[in-house]
């Protein structure tokens, strides 16, 4: 049985951004990324970097500031710290916002990047939107992990390389027809609400993770091989607060795989429990009870038959390998189909009414 979900795009602020044809030269733009030579593809003030274009946006804007991203690789690390910044690409595959940083690599300040400093694009303001472009972290995780002495650890010295982070201050972010590319920790929706439609997200370990509320609709979630490890990965690692009724919700998405990804080698997810400081020490905070649901999703045969699995955290006794089981999180599914669909005994099966209600919770915040 397939769950019918109403299309709420018409009620979203700036919904025109999601309509095909918006990226045409006839639309009005406030800025264009352009290096020349020749005439820019749209009539608007030109900027040689996305950071410069964002700096030109009003500090407290109340309507979209539209930036046209022309074809090219725009290599920079960018912070969106102003509301209503909207990016529209000229070409989904060829309008590329890119940066190379990985947790274990050395940053310009001489320190390791660490996971939380690696994102190519940080969003720290509400009502951001992006359409018809690519956001990538250019770090080649597979090549790095495959060479002797490469980055393999799961701490601050590992191959984590974030493409997009929805950071504190982000809310009501919207993405349509966007490719989000990396290898580990690709997409970090850590704050606010967000909507992803017809997007592609690629990665291997925990490549969609964080504490935010995000709805993925009609997206492709593509797992990449990780031959240096026994398994090829985990799709999600949510750290949802128990105060939030839902975390990540995937509706009518396709869970696909790159060549070389082994059968049954990718878990739907595992629960991430970050540590907090308490009077009696620093350890995994029990308020983080990750939440994810896959609803009406097609799954290829790389999905592990168990569906969900455990993840370690620092226990109250200081043990850094205390295991948090999926039964202690909020993992669920409804109407899984495809070669990888199974009983998924470690996740809860939703009723149709529960699945519908879960989706509406995220939509109501957008």
Other beta carbons within 10 angstroms of residue 361's beta carbon come to 15
Contact 14, 62 (CB under 8 A): no
* Token pair in block for residue 176: 């349509």
- Which of these, 132, 130, 129, lies nearest to 93 by C-alpha position? 132
- Which of these, 290, 310, 299, lies nearest to 249 by C-alpha position? 290
* Token pair in block for residue 240: 């949802």
Contact 316, 281 (CB under 8 A): yes
Q: Length of the chain in residues, anyone?
A: 366
User: Catalytic residues, which ones?
Assistant: 185, 206
Q: How far is CA 101 from CA 106, 118, 165, in A?
A: 8, 5, 13
Contact 152, 104 (CB under 8 A): no
The C-alpha atoms of residue 201 and residue 109 are separated, in whole angstroms, by 30
């Amino acid at each position: 049985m397939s769950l019918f979900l109403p299309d709420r795009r018409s009620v979203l602020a700036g919904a025109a951004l999601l309509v095909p044809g918006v990226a045409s030269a006839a639309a009005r733009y406030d800025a264009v990324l352009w290096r020349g030579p020749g005439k820019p593809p749209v009539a608007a003030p030109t900027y040689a970097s996305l950071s410069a274009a964002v700096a030109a946006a009003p500090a407290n804007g109340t309507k979209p500031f539209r930036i046209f991203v022309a074809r090219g690789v725009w290599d920079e690390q960018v912070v969106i710290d102003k509301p209503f910044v909207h990016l529209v690409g000229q070409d989904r595959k060829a309008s590329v916002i890119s940066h190379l940083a990985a947790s274990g690599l050395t940053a310009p300040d001489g320190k390791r990047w660490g996971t939380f400093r690696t994102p190519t694009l940080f969003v720290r303001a509400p009502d951001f939107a992006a359409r018809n472009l690519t956001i990538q972290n250019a770090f080649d995780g597979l090549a790095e992990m495959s060479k002797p002495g490469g980055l393999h650890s799961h701490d601050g010295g590992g191959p984590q390389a974030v493409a997009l982070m929805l950071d504190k201050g982000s809310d009501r972010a919207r993405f349509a027809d966007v490719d989000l590319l990396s290898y580990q920790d690709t997409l970090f929706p850590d704050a606010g609400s967000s909507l992803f439609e017809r997007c592609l997200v690629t990665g291997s370990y925990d490549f969609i993770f964080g504490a935010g509320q995000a709805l993925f609709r009609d997206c492709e979630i593509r797992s990449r091989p990780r031959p240096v490890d026994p398994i090829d990965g985990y799709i999600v690692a949510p750290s949802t607060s128990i105060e939030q009724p839902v975390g990540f919700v995937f509706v009518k998405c396709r869970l696909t795989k790159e060549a070389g990804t082994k059968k049954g080698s990718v878990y739907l997810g595992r629960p991430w429990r970050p540590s907090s400081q308490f009077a009696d020490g620093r350890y995994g905070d029990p308020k983080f009870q990750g939440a994810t649901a896959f609803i009406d999703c097609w799954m290829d045969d790389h999905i592990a038959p168990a569906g969900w699995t455990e993840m370690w955290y620092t226990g109250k006794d200081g043990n850094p390998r205390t295991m948090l089981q999926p039964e202690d999180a909020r993992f669920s599914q409804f109407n899984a189909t495809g070669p990888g669909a199974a009983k998924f005994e470690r996740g809860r099966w939703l009723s149709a009414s529960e699945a519908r209600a879960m989706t509406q919770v995220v939509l109501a915040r957008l």
